[in-house]
Every structure is written in C-alpha cells, then in structure tokens.
Amino acid sequence: MEPEVVRGTVLARVRASHPQLSPAERRVADMLEAAASRVLRLPIHSLAAEADVSEATVVRFCRSLGYGGLRELKLELAGELRAPAQVVHRSVEPADDMLTLVTKVLRSDMQAIEDALATLDASAIEAAVALLSQAPRIVCYGSGSSVAVTQEAFYRFLRLGLPAAVETNWHMQATSAVHLPPGAVAFAVSRTGKTAQTLSALRWARRAGAKTVVLTSYRGRPAGALADIEIVVGAPDDSVRPESVATRIAHLAVIDAISVALAMRDPARASAALLVDEEISREVEERE
C-alpha cells in the first residue's frame, strides 16, 4: 500500500526511493533534485527530452513516488518550494560563522522529521505494532551508527512490558536469531539497509520462522527484501555530516511513535510495566 501523500513530500520521496528506481527514472530524479524549480516549469515533453527519457518514463517515475502523474507531483512540489520552512541548506561551508553553522545543522535536524513524515507509511507502523504487541519474544538488532536507536527501541519496548532483548555484537546477533521461536519478532535498525551484520541476523531470523521488521532510510535495499514489514524514514545524510544525528533523530522519532502506539494498544500492560519501572527508579535513587 502506498503511503498517503502529504505536504512537503516530493524531494524526500525522491531521496528515499532513489535506490529502487530504474536507471531512466533516476535521470528524472537527479534532474528534479538538481533543479526542482526548473522542473516545475517544464511540460512533460520538455522534461523527458532534457532527462533523455520517454514521456512514459516520466509518468512511471511519478507513480514510483506515489503520485498519479506529473501534474499531481508538480502541485505538491509547488507547495513544497513555496514553504520557507522547507528550504534547508544541508551543506556547511568553511566560511560559515558559528550562528550560520548551528542554524544549518539544526534546520537539517528539523528537516529530518519532515522527511520522516513525508516517507512514512502509516499502515507499516500499524502492522509493526500489531506484530510487536503479540510477539512472545522481541530481539532488536543494529550495528554502527544504528546501535543507539536499536538500544532505545529495546529500552522502550521493555518499559512497556514487552519481552524484549537487544543484540549489537555481530556474532551474537546471528546466534540469537537462530534461536528465535516462531512468532517472535526480529526488529532491525539499519540506516543504509545493507549492513552485513544486520542482514545476517535477519536471514537467520527468517529461517527460524520469526517475523522481521526493518527500520531504514532507503527503499530497495537488501534489508527491505528480508523484511516482513519495512518502515522507511527518508532522512539521508549529507556529504558534510555522514551518518549525522539528523538520521538518528528521525529514527528515534519513529521509535517514539511506535512506543506510544503500543501503549495505546494495551494500556493496562503499559501502565503496570511503567509503575514497576518507576518503583525500581525510586529504589535506585534511595540507595544512591
């Protein structure tokens, strides 16, 4: 099911969907990213000619992003380009003073949330929540820059009373995945969608009969092919800030949303678990 199109989605969808586009569609995507304002003014035949593709390819490109055609994409793009909040300069320059630098970084972080809204499919979140709420066991997997998000997911699930664990060691990820019982959930976070350790854990989890949920920034990557449910958060990093905090902010926001949805799905379990957690926290504080 295609995600619902919301305001400010075009460029975010282009970035998140780029890996799964055909080579011809990527030429249209690259032209759109490089000169969005110009694309807005071009009729379909001129756009096709400049991108060196057929008009049919332009239409397929639009549909790959979830739009009915070029007209619908342009209407969305026009609103996106008019909105001042959407104008974000991700690249920090050596000549930038401190205020400019901080402003660019913080706006990039805010844009990550906008990109998340642009690319998320609510039905994928709903399906993930349904699996997680009923799972006899949940193991969270992640490596590298995704470890922090993976550990936060584990912590959130555990606090809600879910039978959660976390594995970030390469060997232990695969070993734990082998022993997942049927109906368990392997919850993997992979920014790139192609981290070898995470892919290995997902493969073993599927062989064991577990369900797999993947949180990533790109469609069309190997992790998505191993996922029963793929949650795409379109917040790619820029060249100056590889593996930047912006991507983790977007992923953490989605974990937050999933946690709230889980709590709402079973309020009694969540309340009981949180009361125990608060009691433990008070006991720890008193001993300190």
For 97, phi and psi rounded to 5 degrees?
Answer: -75, 175
For the stretch 55-70, pLDDT in tens is 999 999 999 888 888 9
Question: What is the reported pLDDT for 238?
Answer: 52
For the stretch 69-93, pLDDT in tens is 898 898 888 877 765 444 444 567 7
- Do 277 and 141 meet the contact criterion of CB atoms below 8 Å apart? no
User: Residue 142 and residue 190: Cα distance in Å, rounded?
Assistant: 6
pLDDT above 90 as % of the chain = 51
- Range scoring the smallest mean pLDDT among 110-114, 172-176, 182-186, 233-237: 233-237
Question: What is the reported pLDDT for 258?
Answer: 96
For the stretch 135-169, pLDDT in tens is 999 999 999 889 999 999 999 999 999 999 999 88
DSSP for 2-40, written as a single string: PPPP-TT-HHHHHHHHGGGS-HHHHHHHHHHHH-HHHHH
For the stretch 7-20, pLDDT in tens is 446 887 888 788 88
- Overall average pLDDT of the 182-195 stretch: 94
The answer to whether residue 31 scores a pLDDT higher than 70 is: yes
The answer to whether residue 244 scores a pLDDT higher than 80 is: no
Question: What is the reported pLDDT for 288?
Answer: 62
Question: What is the reported pLDDT for 51?
Answer: 92
- Overall average pLDDT of the 284-288 stretch: 68
Question: What is the reported pLDDT for 26?
Answer: 93
- Range scoring the smallest mean pLDDT among 39-43, 56-60, 107-111, 230-234: 107-111
User: Residue 258 and residue 243: Cα distance in Å, rounded?
Assistant: 23
Walk me through the domains of the chain, giving residue ranges and CATH numbers. Answer: 1-87 (1.10.10.10), 122-280 (3.40.50.10490)
Question: What is the reported pLDDT for 79?
Answer: 75
Question: What is the reported pLDDT for 90?
Answer: 52
Q: pTM of the predicted model, to two decimals?
A: 0.70
| Higher per-residue confidence, 173 vs 77 | 173
For the stretch 194-242, pLDDT in tens is 999 999 999 999 999 999 999 998 888 899 999 999 999 875 555 455 5
- Overall average pLDDT of the 117-138 stretch: 91
CA distances (Å), origin 175, targets 138, 178, 181, 246, 285? 14, 5, 13, 31, 36
- Overall average pLDDT of the 52-57 stretch: 94
Radius of gyration, alpha carbons of the chain: 21
Q: How many helical (H) and strand (E) elements, i.e. helices and strands, does the chain have? A: 14, 5
Question: What is the reported pLDDT for 6?
Answer: 39
User: Residue 71 and residue 35: Cα distance in Å, rounded?
Assistant: 17
